[in-house]
Amino acid sequence: MSRFEAAIFDLDGVLVDSAKAHFAAWRRLADELGIRFTERDNEALKGVDRMGSLRMILDLGGRGFDETEMVALATRKNGYYLEAVAHMSPADQLPGAEDLVRSAKAAGLRCAVASASRNAPLLLDRAGLAPLFDYVADAGAVARGKPAPDIFLACSDALDAPPAACLAFEDAAAGIDAIIAAGMFAVGIGDPLVLGRARVVYRETAAVDLAALLSA
């Protein structure tokens, strides 16, 4: 029998193909502000919440804004993002995502989503994945964002599974650090050079070998 009782999934870049839409929306805003922002810069923003991401971009350009302007800029970016995901559907699930969650449930694991995105419930709904989850953490309700462990711990609490019995999946370095800080088993989805601190890294969601993880 596996020591795992629960599986916790990041959303953007693990279950749904929305990481590109976040990048495009930030790049559009950065262009408007005259800040050079590359795909490489974007890697550090993955998993980081909206205001934290904005601060990182403004730092890149050495720009400072007051709090009211910052909120307006973050709202503008979110408008661009919502435009980009307006037509999102189950076709935007990442390959293997629904199968992975269904297999985890079939193996008796309780399943949750730990996304820094305040748009997570909307995306899960559009992607047709919402009914599969026992719990979706509210990114707006956790005290500290990734790399702090808070959102993963909120999931293990809600699922009533001790952290050591949770398998957690992430495509972002900040997310892997959050999982490790929570005391959970970290599975990276993406580039092993970026996600090297994870216990196991798979190139893509479709490559995850759940049976192997359950016996880890």
Where does this chain bind ligand G6P (CB under 6 A)?
A: 12, 22, 45-50, 53, 78, 115-119, 139, 172
Choosing from 12, 17, 171, 177, the catalytic residue is 12
Q: Which does 45 bind (CB under 5 to 8 A by kind): ligand G6P, Mg ion, none?
A: ligand G6P
| Cα separations in angstroms, 35 against 30, 54, 181 | 5, 12, 33
Comparing C-alpha atoms, which of 151, 108, 113, 154 is closest to residue 131? 113
Strand, coil or helix: 191: coil
Strands, DSSP E only, in 67-181? 110-113, 135-136, 166-170
Smaller CB distance to ligand G6P: residue 3 or 118? 118
The contact set with Mg ion (CB under 5 A) reads 10, 12-13, 171-172
10 is catalytic: yes
12 is catalytic: yes
Smaller CB distance to Mg ion: residue 71 or 82? 82
Residue 64: CB minimum distance to Mg ion, A: 28
Residue 133: CB minimum distance to ligand G6P, A: 16
Comparing C-alpha atoms, which of 63, 17, 67 is closest to residue 37? 63
Smaller CB distance to ligand G6P: residue 45 or 161? 45
Residue 18: CB minimum distance to Mg ion, A: 8
Smaller CB distance to ligand G6P: residue 109 or 189? 189
String of b and e for 143-180 (b: at least 16 CB within 10 Å)?
A: eebbbbbbbbbbbbebbebebebbbbbbbbbbbbbbbb
Q: Which does 2 bind (CB under 5 to 8 A by kind): ligand G6P, Mg ion, none?
A: none
Residue 38: CB minimum distance to Mg ion, A: 18
Residue pair 127/90 in contact by the 8 Å Cβ criterion: yes
Name residue 212's amino acid. A
Q: Which does 117 bind (CB under 5 to 8 A by kind): ligand G6P, Mg ion, none?
A: ligand G6P
CA–CA separation, 94 and 59 (whole Å) = 32
Q: Which are the catalytic amino acids?
A: 10, 12
